[in-house]
Amino acid sequence: TQLLEQSPQFLSIQEGENLTVYCNSSSVFSSLQWYRQEPGEGPVLLVTVVTGGEVKKLKRLTFQFGDARKDSSLHITAAQPGDTGLYLCGTSYGKLTFGQGTILTVHP
C-alpha cells in the first residue's frame, strides 16, 4: 500500500489545456512537497505546502493542500510543452516518501 497515491498516472494533453494532478493519502502530514522531473534530470522542488487549506501559485501552476492535510492537488492552466515531465508529490513522514508520479506530456 502506497503512503501517497497519485492520479492520474499518465496524462497526455494538447497545448493550452488545463489539468489537475491529485495526491491523496489516509494519513495526516505536517507538510507536502511537489517536485518536477524532466527527462534525463533529477527531480526539482516546485513548492512545499504546510498549512491545511493553503494555496500557492507558481506562474501557471496552482498548488493546494487539503484542509485536513491528507491530500494535495496541482493544477496547471494553459499547459505548454515545457510543462512535460514527471510530477511527484512527496512527504517527510519519517523519511521523504514519494507518490508513484504523474507523467505529463503536453503536445504542441
CB of 45 to other proteins, least distance (A): 5
Answer for the pair 101, 82: CB distance below 8 angstroms, yes or no: no
- Residue owning grid cell 489539468: 19
Residue among 12 and 18 whose Cβ is closer to other proteins? 12
CB of 49 to other proteins, least distance (A): 10
- Residue owning grid cell 527527462: 39
CB of 78 to other proteins, least distance (A): 25
66 binds other proteins (CB under 8 A): no
User: Which of 20, 64, 84, 100 touches other proteins by CB under 8 A?
Assistant: 100
Residue 103's SS3 state is strand
Answer for the pair 88, 35: CB distance below 8 angstroms, yes or no: yes
Residue 77: name the closest of 95, 54, 59, 100 by CA.
Answer: 59
The binding site for other proteins (CB under 8 A) comprises 30-31, 33, 35, 37, 40-45, 48, 86, 88, 90-92, 95-98, 100-101, 103
